[in-house]
Amino acid sequence: MQMAGMLYQVLTQIIAQMLTMSAMPIFWAVAVLPAVQAGFTQMKNQKQVVAKLPAFLFALLECWLWILLSGMLGGIIASSLFLLTGISISHCAMLYLWIVMIFLLMLEPRFYCFAYAGGFLVLAQTIASMCGIRLFDFDGEALLVLVAILHFTEAVMVRISGALQQIPVYFRERTGTLTAKIQLQMCWPVPLVIPMPMLQNTAAEIYNGYLVMPEWWPLFGTTANAETAVIYQLMPILALIGYRDTAEPGKERMQTRKSSKLLFLYSVMLCILVWAVKLHPYMQGIAALFAVLGHEGMLWLGSMPMRKYVHIRKKQRFAKFIIKKR
């Protein structure tokens, strides 16, 4: 009963913070952009002029609602895992993370991901500590668990609504034959609630008015001693999680299921490696290396069927004309 009461209070706090976050205009704006694109795609598919506007409005509303529901569900799952695992991300760690992500975005847009930024930061921290240098002051385990939880959340959202927005693209085979494929592209606004440490105080002073976590908490990171306890603040953060893939026509759902399984496997393996840090501190470097290389391997496995094609960067009309002529 005590455990159930604690979970109820945690879930109530998460939903309250998420509702506050969902009132921000940027949350609704990000959800509208892919919905408008999906509406235009459906409108182009309609041959009758009278049916174009209803098709646009229906597709826009359907896609918009699915994006909002998927983002809210992903936020509840991720925030619950953040609190249950007990990871805490400091403001300093979040600042380092965003600086590295912006740098990677300028270097190569596809590297704009928490997996690369978090992996590089923790790997640099581990190498510096091996050399006796204190480079970054943050919890590397918590940062890697953050990466794993976000990719687990992405796996859930890809499985639910990853095939909602479909854009036709054209490829050329090695033999020169043109073929049409479907590009899956989605972006979800995900309201997150992350515990951030505020201060330490005597354990006797914080029992009144605060939620006291059980003895096994946290699963990752360090715990406070018997005389002191750490007070955490639930910090709402809006995250944007994107998904992009290419599928065979008529097999879009099959491709999203495959991508979802790869994302789930990646997040579970990363959590196992982070848990192994308790056995040896240098396992943190191996986990950070896997965060980067494992993500590359996941993308490599997901794109295997498309490697025999060359993407044609031409106007859609020209590609359609060639296909009809052939």
- Give dist(CA 295, CA 67) in Å, integer: 24
| pLDDT tens digits, one per residue of 83-120 | 888 777 777 888 888 889 889 888 888 888 889 999 99
Domain count, the chain: 1
Whole-structure pTM value: 0.81
| pLDDT tens digits, one per residue of 241-265 | 888 888 888 888 888 999 999 999 9
pLDDT the model gives residue 207: 46
- Is 144 within 8 Å of 122 (Cβ atoms)? yes
- Give dist(CA 155, CA 259) in Å, integer: 7
Compute, in degrees rounded to 10, the torsion defined by CA atoms 189, 220, 198, 282.
-100
pLDDT the model gives residue 119: 92
Stretch 41-52: mean pLDDT: 58
The mean pLDDT of the chain is 76
- Give dist(CA 27, CA 285) in Å, integer: 35
Please determine, for residue 311, whether its predicted confidence score (pLDDT) is greater than 60: no
Range of the structural domain that residue 257 is part of: 2-325
